[in-house]
């Protein structure tokens, strides 16, 4: 059985088992699942292509018996001549006297070692007698530690593979192996540890990539199904006619992408299952407009709706735009931390007694004493800013309310499939017509004077600017100091009639509010700020976004910041001040100047950063694939997702003998058990 201890393997004693435990190998299965992290491939090349001092592999016939000389203490040198392509090559081997018995005149031999072009000599590090089968030698390299060496590890893996080969179970149903021409698990496992050639290795890897994706996607699809079934019976019977009317009173027509997303949302709301959907769309793509329609639909079904956002400023903005859109159609309240005392008590009472239909708010929404009468729809904006528990608490304020998450941080398709596999995803990937593209420039610090002059010119045209101050990683305090310094510098630089404001995270809510209001009313022309303005703030008259130290920000964050401008009629500008040292940093700045499409940007970001870093390590929630790479193997990921969807939707796990092993595996999976709690 594969679950047996490694001590059952030939060659593994107590001491070795302890060493293995250090690298988390306890059972036979652990050992077999510990794949090489890389391979050294030595390909036999013609002499003319060999490079001096490189590690090379050559093949030839031994001409003379090797001669062995000893020198120093226990040191030996074995040398012989071989013929390669009609040329005599000298081979030397150090401290391997035993090889003399294995190498004889007339033998075909393959040698790997360091090449010396001038002396036509190879210093051998490894050799193989007999012809090389596929003209390639592939060496597995494992990550090792302490007393566990690559050599020892390979030896016991070989022993384990031969002793336990009959215990290696196939989980992937034969039909998929056939369809994609994948080797079975046993063969693939042997190949991944001991690849006979590159082609076989490629197919073995393909097999494990597919397997990893399939298992993961099955869990996600199963989770989605179980969650849905657990929430049956929440259909919202809204009034389609009224909803249509509502959309018609908008001062604009919805874009095609908005309409498509809206239909998906409304279909979810009408269905007997609870909606669990993510709405993605760039800043300004019109998510809030779509959300408003859904809130209205809920009201026509006789229910209440809640919209939770991460900051007070944002809450207030949403509140104002919703109040404008709804007019007399709904009673809307704004519930934030600043609502206190009697006013709060009255508000909470009105929510409870259903005299209020829509509640917009911050975390204040999820406090214990806030009860809804009949909560039908919960919307969480900038969902990644809330913790799982906060989102859950809001959801639990109703009886299986439909839940919509919104985000303006476009998530690459690849990651959306993986990270939100149990969620449905709608995408608004098109901007309302007539928006002017923001012009983005990247400059070095020495061109600062020009930037400051440019800002002054635009201010004379009655426009406004944000200046985001340098970022110091992991230090809120220093960031604020930076902001204060920059604020003073600019005050000195500009004439008194240009008013400058200062915004950072340490200000009280009231202070922030009043500064934001001054900026919105153009009583302040330049707002110096830390990244606190990143989310949601809407001042259409601001047309310039200057970002200091832009190389320290991620692409998504830069894009968010840039989204603060370009919200009005005038042409807007984003100026990145950066002097990145590395190539990646330069590439980032280049991408920013070239694309304004958030989705494209996020794909690029993912490529630069890798999946683990995209969300930030801690909260990534992304699985650790051993062979598969979500970005590189995207096609396989899609294939596996489609297969998983079919398997779950058609209930194939239950009905098909071929799927028995998969079913067993899923039933015992701890990830699923955890998630379902
Ligand atoms: P988001 O929430 O995605 O950032 P909003 O819904 O706040 O976007 O929309 C941004 C601005 O665009 C708002 O002023 C809104 O009234 C307007 N808007 C939304 N949809 C459209 C549309 N289809 N055509 C024109 N303007 C629109
Ligand atoms: Mg919004």
At the second CATH level, the architecture of 43-135 is Beta Barrel (2.40)
Choose which CATH entry (3.40.50.300, 3.90.1210.10, 3.30.70.3270, 3.30.1510.10) describes domain 439-595. Answer: 3.40.50.300
Q: Ligand 1, closest atom to CA 291?
A: 6
C-beta 286 within 6 A of ligand 1: yes
C-beta 283 within 6 A of ligand 1: yes
* 43 or 206, greater pLDDT: 206
Instruction: Please state which of the ranges 176-185, 376-385, 497-506 shows the lowest mean pLDDT.
Output: 376-385
Q: Ligand 1, closest atom to CA 287?
A: 3
Instruction: Please state which of the ranges 64-73, 173-182, 617-626 shows the lowest mean pLDDT.
Output: 617-626
Instruction: Select from 255, 289, 320 the residue to mutate for testing ligand 1; criterion: most ligand atoms less than 8 Å from CB.
Output: 289
C-beta 252 within 6 A of ligand 1: yes
Mean pLDDT score across all residues of the chain: 88
pLDDT of 314: 83
Q: Rounded to whole angstroms, how far apart are CA atoms 34 and 24?
A: 9
Kindly tell me if the per-residue pLDDT of 637 is higher than 50: yes
Q: Rounded to whole angstroms, how far apart are CA atoms 186 and 168?
A: 6
Kindly tell me if the per-residue pLDDT of 530 is higher than 50: yes
Q: Which of 131, 283, 100 is nearest to 92 (CA)?
A: 100
Q: CATH topology of 240-428 equal to that of 439-595?
A: yes
pLDDT of 617: 44
Q: Ligand 1, closest atom to CA 281?
A: 3
Instruction: Select from 432, 436, 599 the residue to mutate for testing ligand 1; criterion: most ligand atoms less than 8 Å from CB.
Output: 432
Model confidence over 199-220: pLDDT tens digits?
Answer: 999 999 999 999 999 999 998 8
The bound ligand whose nearest atom lies closest to the alpha carbon of 311 is 2
Model confidence over 460-509: pLDDT tens digits?
Answer: 999 999 999 877 655 666 667 788 889 999 999 999 999 999 988 788 87
pLDDT of 552: 86
- Ligand 2 centroid to Cα of residue 381, in Å, is 7
C-beta 284 within 6 A of ligand 1: yes
- Ligand 1 centroid to Cα of residue 256, in Å, is 13
Q: Ligand 1, closest atom to CA 254?
A: 23
Instruction: Please state which of the ranges 128-137, 354-363, 425-434 shows the lowest mean pLDDT.
Output: 128-137
Q: Ligand 1, closest atom to CA 250?
A: 16
Kindly tell me if the per-residue pLDDT of 182 is higher than 90: yes
C-beta 258 within 6 A of ligand 1: yes
How is the chain split into domains, by residue range? 43-135, 240-428, 439-595
Instruction: Select from 284, 295, 572 the residue to mutate for testing ligand 1; criterion: most ligand atoms less than 8 Å from CB.
Output: 284
- Ligand 1 centroid to Cα of residue 432, in Å, is 7
Mean pLDDT of 523-542: 83
The bound ligand whose nearest atom lies closest to the alpha carbon of 435 is 1
Distances (CA, A) of 131 to 3, 58, 234, 402, 597: 39, 11, 71, 67, 56
255 within 8 A of 288, measured Cβ to Cβ: no
- Ligand 1 centroid to Cα of residue 508, in Å, is 29
Q: Rounded to whole angstroms, how far apart are CA atoms 288 and 91?
A: 74
Distances (CA, A) of 40 to 246, 470, 611: 65, 44, 25
Q: Indicate the SS3 state at residue 618.
A: coil
CATH number attached to the domain at 240-428: 3.40.50.300
Mean pLDDT of 293-303: 97
The bound ligand whose nearest atom lies closest to the alpha carbon of 309 is 2
- Ligand 1 centroid to Cα of residue 552, in Å, is 30
Among protein residues, the one whose CA lies closest to atom 10 of ligand 1: 284
Q: Rounded to whole angstroms, how far apart are CA atoms 358 and 90?
A: 86
Kindly tell me if the per-residue pLDDT of 619 is higher than 50: no
pLDDT of 497: 93
Q: Rounded to whole angstroms, how far apart are CA atoms 295 and 598?
A: 26
Query: pTM of this prediction?
Result: 0.71
- Ligand 1 centroid to Cα of residue 567, in Å, is 9
- Ligand 1 centroid to Cα of residue 462, in Å, is 24
- Ligand 2 centroid to Cα of residue 624, in Å, is 32
Q: Ligand 1, closest atom to CA 428?
A: 3
Model confidence over 218-239: pLDDT tens digits?
Answer: 988 888 888 778 777 789 999 9
- Ligand 2 centroid to Cα of residue 461, in Å, is 28
Mean pLDDT of 582-603: 89
Distances (CA, A) of 383 to 220, 409, 509, 539: 20, 10, 21, 22
Kindly tell me if the per-residue pLDDT of 120 is higher than 90: yes
β-bridge pairing 55-62 and 439-443: unpaired
pLDDT of 598: 85
C-beta 287 within 6 A of ligand 1: yes
- Ligand 2 centroid to Cα of residue 408, in Å, is 7
* 533 or 270, greater pLDDT: 270
Q: Ligand 1, closest atom to CA 381?
A: 2
- Ligand 2 centroid to Cα of residue 487, in Å, is 29
Position 620 confidence tier, pLDDT thresholds 50, 70, 90? very low
Distances (CA, A) of 239 to 206, 244, 270, 300, 340: 50, 9, 10, 6, 36
Among protein residues, the one whose CA lies closest to atom 11 of ligand 1: 284
């Amino acid at each position: 059985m594969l679950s047996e201890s490694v001590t059952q393997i030939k060659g593994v004693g107590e001491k070795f088992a302890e060493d293995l435990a250090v690298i988390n190998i306890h059972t036979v299965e652990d050992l077999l699942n510990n794949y090489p992290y890389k391979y050294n491939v030595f390909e036999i090349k013609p002499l003319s292509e060999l490079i001096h001092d490189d590690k090379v592999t050559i093949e030839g016939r031994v001409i003379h018996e090797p001669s062995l000389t000893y020198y120093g203490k226990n040191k030996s040198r074995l040398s012989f001549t071989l013929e390669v392509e009609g040329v005599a090559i000298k081979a030397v081997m150090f401290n391997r006297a035993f090889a003399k018995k294995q190498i004889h005149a007339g033998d075909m031999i393959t040698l790997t070692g360091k090449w010396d072009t001038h002396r036509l000599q190879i210093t051998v590090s490894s050799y193989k007698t007999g012809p090389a089968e596929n003209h390639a030698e592939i060496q597995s390299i494992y990550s090792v530690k302490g007393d566990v060496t690559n050599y020892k590890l390979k030896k016991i893996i070989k022993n384990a593979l031969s002793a336990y080969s009959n215990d290696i179970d196939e989980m992937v149903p034969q039909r998929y192996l056939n369809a994609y021409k994948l080797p079975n698990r046993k063969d693939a496992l042997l190949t991944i540890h001991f690849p006979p050639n590159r082609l076989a290795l490629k197919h073995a890897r393909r097999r494990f990539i597919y397997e990893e994706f399939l298992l993961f996607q099955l869990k996600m699809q199963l989770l989605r199904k179980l969650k849905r079934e657990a929430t049956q019976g929440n259909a919202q019977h809204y009034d389609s006619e009224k909803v249509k009317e509502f959309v018609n009173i908008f001062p604009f027509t919805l874009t095609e992408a908005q309409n498509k997303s809206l239909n998906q949302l409304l279909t979810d709301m009408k269905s007997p299952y609870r909606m669990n959907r993510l709405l993605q769309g760039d800043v300004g793509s019109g998510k809030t407009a779509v959300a408003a329609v859904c809130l209205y639909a809920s009201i026509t079904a006789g229910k209440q709706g809640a919209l939770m956002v991460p900051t007070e400023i944002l809450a207030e903005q949403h509140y104002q735009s919703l109040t404008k859109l709804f007019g007399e159609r709904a009673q809307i309240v704004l519930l934030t931390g600043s609502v206190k005392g009697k006013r709060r008590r009255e508000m909470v009472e009105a929510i409870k007694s259903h005299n209020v239909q829509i509640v917009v708010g911050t975390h204040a929404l999820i406090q214990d004493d806030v009860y809804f009468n009949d909560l039908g729809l919960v919307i969480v904006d900038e969902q990644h800013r809330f913790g799982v528990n906060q989102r859950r608490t809001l959801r639990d304020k109703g009886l299986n309310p439909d839940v919509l998450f919104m985000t303006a941080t476009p998530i690459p398709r690849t990651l959306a499939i993986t990270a939100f596999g149990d969620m449905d995803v709608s995408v608004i990937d098109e901007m309302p017509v007539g928006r002017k593209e923001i012009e983005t420039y990247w400059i070095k610090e020495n061109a600062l004077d020009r930037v400051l002059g440019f800002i002054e010119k635009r201010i004379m045209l009655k426009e406004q600017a944000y200046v985001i101050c340098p970022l110091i990683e992991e230090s809120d305090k220093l960031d604020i100091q930076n902001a204060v310094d920059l604020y003073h510098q600019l005050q000195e630089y500009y004439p008194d009639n240009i008013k400058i404001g200062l915004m950072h995270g340490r200000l009280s809510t009231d202070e922030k509010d009043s500064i934001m209001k001054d900026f919105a009313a153009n009583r302040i022309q330049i707002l110096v700020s830390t990244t606190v303005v990143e989310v949601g703030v809407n001042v259409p008259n601001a047309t310039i976004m200057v970002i200091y130290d832009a190389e320290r920000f991620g692409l998504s964050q830069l894009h968010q910041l840039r989204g603060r401008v370009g919200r009005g009629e005038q042409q807007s500008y984003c100026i990145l001040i950066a002097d990145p040292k590395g190539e990646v940093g330069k590439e980032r700045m280049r991408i920013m100047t070239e694309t304004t499409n958030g989705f494209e940007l996020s794909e690029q970001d993912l490529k630069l950063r890798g999946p683990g870093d995209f969300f930030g390590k801690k909260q990534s929630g992304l699985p650790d694939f051993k062979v598969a790479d979500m970005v590189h193997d995207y096609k396989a990921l899609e294939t596996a997702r489609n297969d998983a969807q079919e398997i779950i939707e058609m209930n194939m796990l239950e009905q098909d003998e071929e799927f028995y092993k998969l079913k067993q595996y899923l039933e015992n999976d701890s990830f699923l058990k955890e998630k379902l709690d």
